[in-house]
Amino acid sequence: MTTPALPVVTTVIDLRETVGAWKKQGLTVGFVPTMGALHEGHLTLVREAGQQADRVVASVFVNPTQFAAHEDLGTYPRQEVLDAELLASAGCHLMFAPTTDEMYPEGFSTGVSVGGPSEGLETDFRPHFFSGVAVVVAKLLNQVQADVAVFGEKDYQQLMVVRRMTLDLDIPTRIVGAPTQRDGHGLALSSRNAYLSEDEIAVARRLNGVLAQAGANAAAGGSVAEIEAQAARSLLEAGFAMVDYVAIRQAGSLAVFEGDQVDTPGRILAAAWLGKTRLIDNMAVAAVG
Amino acid sequence: MTTPALPVVTTVIDLRETVGAWKKQGLTVGFVPTMGALHEGHLTLVREAGQQADRVVASVFVNPTQFAAHEDLGTYPRQEVLDAELLASAGCHLMFAPTTDEMYPEGFSTGVSVGGPSEGLETDFRPHFFSGVAVVVAKLLNQVQADVAVFGEKDYQQLMVVRRMTLDLDIPTRIVGAPTQRDGHGLALSSRNAYLSEDEIAVARRLNGVLAQAGANAAAGGSVAEIEAQAARSLLEAGFAMVDYVAIRQAGSLAVFEGDQVDTPGRILAAAWLGKTRLIDNMAVAAVG
């Protein structure tokens, strides 16, 4: 089966022309922002957007402002032609692939910062990450003017930060979170999995199980602090080289549980290293019953 | 002559319902943000918005985040009923008067910062002013979703900051600047003029003339630094108690002229005190011919 070629626009003017024409026809618009290097996880987001809206736009833009100088901006996987084919196969109607100059022209000087859910976790290890994410997502949402935008729960803290910013700045797009897609062994799909050796994949697949066990222990009434420490030890024993964090937080605000017990719905989140590759994962933790 | 009562909404939901109905009818929408205490200057902005769009929304919201603790938030003049009548008389179709809780509900945690044109001038004396302005204007523009928003050149640096932010965040509203309205003696209309005594008004009226003379000297090829210093002395001699700044900058970016000459179109801007009242004014400066 061949998929018809996906229309691609590279400028905001062209993007708005297409989206504006859809809106004039009374069609609703869904949006999925990506950094390309698409896998089944992204395609699930595109299908979800297609469930929620008549037309789907996906952006492919490797946003330089969310990478620190030592991070993998230069080597981040890029495959634009394949990405367009994958998007078309998932029911996407338009790909928006702006250049860095289109997004950040000379003289660009605006920053967006989000407190609350951006505090701690990823921010402790990637201090500029969420300010980079916030500004590019604010721009993309305002550029597309979609009715709904779909973000993966894989980047759970990012989803909470985007929700907070969209609400706070009154951006008129509904933010929807979609469940993490996993391989048959529970490993969360990620573009960065492409960096892993076969041996590392075997270790990476343990992350999900360790978090599930820790979450179950917390839901059974255990001490949050003790469970976090035990889970970090388990990840090192499983073969991870380093653990940035394993943390159990309140599900919406990502605030710390003050009483060291999961007394409202929670989320367990982790970031750990395999060689030079940093993996993240998270899952829901039920409140102590 | 009686003016029909102006519809007033206080929530974003009600605002969007009215604006959405207009858009469905194919009507264009203009927007004028204000802090109330309206005078002829604001009404000129409303009339300009009415020239540019089919329907006009004006907001009245005294934004706490742009006042420092020692500033006049508590005493800033408020006259909502009179403001509604004045807006109606100028052709406004809807007043949006949100509460502080509607704008900044519990958990609000997003900031917007604008570099470039916000550097120096007002920022040297009111360091948090433009971050407060940027976040409230971003919110208001996204709430109203107007085709065009009109800002007064009276707050010229603010106009440049708003333009920069709107461009950088891709907010789909065109920003229009409208000329400063003045009394018969050249004094820029301002809500804060209400604080002035009769003697202070007489001094305040000299500000405009001093800036005009300085601008003419700069356009004739004088040294920017010398003209700025001379203008500040003139203001003190005229009776101003203190001069925060008199500065000649590049018109669009508000960047400093590197060669000490107005070699591209410029703007002269000043802030000075009369008693406890701080006045600002500005005007265009022609490039050296």
Q: Quick one: pLDDT at residue B1?
A: 47
Q: Quick one: pLDDT at residue A77?
A: 82
Flag whether A37 is in a domain. Answer: yes
- DSSP states of B181-195: PB-TTSPBP-GGGGG
- Whether A116 and B139 lie within 8 Å, measured CB to CB: no
Tell me the nearest-neighbour CA distance from B273 into chain A, angstroms: 31
* In a shared domain, residues B174 and B215: no
Tell me the nearest-neighbour CA distance from A138 into chain B, angstroms: 6
Instruction: Decide if A83 contacts A126 (C-beta within 8 A).
Output: no
The answer to whether B144 faces chain A, any CB pair under 8 Å, is no
* In a shared domain, residues B142 and B221: no
- Whether B113 and A110 lie within 8 Å, measured CB to CB: yes
The pLDDT tens digits of the residues spanning A22-45 come to 999 999 999 999 999 999 999 999
- Domain end residue (candidates: A125, A144, A178): A178
Q: Which residues of A touch B138 (CB under 8 A)?
A: 169-170
- Which 94-113 residues of chain A touch chain B by CB within 8 A? 107-113
Flag whether B3 is in a domain. Answer: no
Tell me the nearest-neighbour CA distance from B260 into chain A, angstroms: 22
- Which 180-219 residues of chain A touch chain B by CB within 8 A? none
The answer to whether B25 faces chain A, any CB pair under 8 Å, is no
* In a shared domain, residues A231 and A170: no
Both tokens of A31, joined, read 């949006």
| Set A42, A70, A93, A128: catalytic member | A42
Both tokens of A39, joined, read 């896998």
Q: Quick one: pLDDT at residue A75?
A: 85
Both tokens of B163, joined, read 């333009």
DSSP state of A128: T
* In a shared domain, residues B89 and B155: yes
Return d(Cα B196, Cα A175) in angstroms, integer.
Answer: 49
Told to judge if A42 belongs to the known catalytic residues of this protein, a careful annotator would answer yes
- Whether B171 and A142 lie within 8 Å, measured CB to CB: yes
Exposure string for B180-190, b = 16+ CB within 10 A, e = fewer: bbbeeebbbbb
Q: Quick one: pLDDT at residue B289?
A: 82
Q: Quick one: pLDDT at residue B263?
A: 96
Flag whether A1 is in a domain. Answer: no
* Residue in chain B nearest A143 by alpha carbon: B170
Q: What is the residue-averaged pLDDT of chain A?
A: 95
* In a shared domain, residues B117 and B207: no
What's the one-letter identity of residue A140?
Answer: L
By percentage, how much of chain A surpasses pLDDT 70?
99
* In a shared domain, residues B140 and B274: no
| pLDDT above 80 (res A4) | no
Flag whether B170 is in a domain. Answer: yes
Flag whether B139 is in a domain. Answer: yes
A62: which residues sit within 8 A by CB, 6+ positions away?
Answer: A35, A36, A73, A76, A78
* In a shared domain, residues A205 and A98: no
Instruction: Decide if A86 contacts A38 (C-beta within 8 A).
Output: yes
* Among candidates A110, A168, A169 on the partner chain, residue whose Cβ is nearest the Cβ of B114: A110
Comparing CA positions, the residue from A90, A98, A96 lying closest to residue A50 is A90
The pLDDT tens digits of the residues spanning A191-210 come to 889 999 999 999 999 999 99
The answer to whether B172 faces chain A, any CB pair under 8 Å, is yes
Instruction: Decide if A96 contacts A135 (C-beta within 8 A).
Output: no
Flag whether B120 is in a domain. Answer: yes
| pLDDT above 60 (res A217) | yes
Interface test with B, best of A169, A173, A253 (most B CBs within 10 A): A169
The answer to whether A11 faces chain B, any CB pair under 8 Å, is no
What CATH number should be reported for the domain holding residue A94? Answer: 3.40.50.620
* In a shared domain, residues B130 and B17: yes
Number of domains in chain B: 2
- Domain end residue (candidates: A123, A157, A178): A178
Tell me the nearest-neighbour CA distance from A117 into chain B, angstroms: 9
At residue A73 the predicted structure's pLDDT band, cuts being 50, 70 and 90, is: confident
| Set B42, B70, B93, B128: catalytic member | B42
* In a shared domain, residues B72 and B149: yes
The answer to whether A172 faces chain B, any CB pair under 8 Å, is yes
- Domain end residue (candidates: B138, B153, B178): B178
* Among candidates B111, B142, B164 on the partner chain, residue whose Cβ is nearest the Cβ of A109: B164
Flag whether A28 is in a domain. Answer: yes
Q: Which residues of A touch B165 (CB under 8 A)?
A: 110
Q: Quick one: pLDDT at residue A3?
A: 53
Domain span holding position B159: 8-178
* In a shared domain, residues B40 and B174: yes
* In a shared domain, residues B47 and B161: yes
- CA distance to A128, A129, A220, per residue, from A69 (Å): 11, 11, 42
* In a shared domain, residues B38 and B75: yes
What CATH number should be reported for the domain holding residue B241? Answer: 3.30.1300.10
Give the number of beta-carbon pairs within 8 Å between A and B.
80
- Whether A142 and B142 lie within 8 Å, measured CB to CB: yes
* pLDDT tens series, chain B, 289 aa: 455 689 999 999 999 999 999 999 999 999 999 999 999 999 999 999 999 999 999 999 999 998 888 888 888 888 889 999 999 999 999 999 999 999 999 999 999 999 999 999 999 999 999 999 999 999 999 999 999 999 999 999 999 999 999 999 999 999 999 999 999 999 999 988 999 999 999 999 999 999 999 999 999 999 999 999 999 999 999 999 999 999 999 998 999 999 999 999 999 999 999 999 999 999 999 999 8
Helix (H) or strand (E) run with residue B231 in it: helix B224-238
The answer to whether B75 faces chain A, any CB pair under 8 Å, is no
The predicted model scores a pTM of 0.94
Q: Is B107 left (phi over 0), alpha (psi -120 to 50) or beta?
A: left
Q: Which residues of B touch A16 (CB under 8 A)?
A: 172
- Whether B115 and A107 lie within 8 Å, measured CB to CB: no
The answer to whether A25 faces chain B, any CB pair under 8 Å, is no
Flag whether B144 is in a domain. Answer: yes
- Which 231-270 residues of chain A touch chain B by CB within 8 A? 253
B167: which residues sit within 8 A by CB, 6+ positions away?
Answer: none
- Whether B142 and A110 lie within 8 Å, measured CB to CB: no
ipTM associated with this complex: 0.93
The answer to whether A10 faces chain B, any CB pair under 8 Å, is no
| pLDDT above 50 (res A2) | yes
Q: Which residues of A touch B115 (CB under 8 A)?
A: 109-111
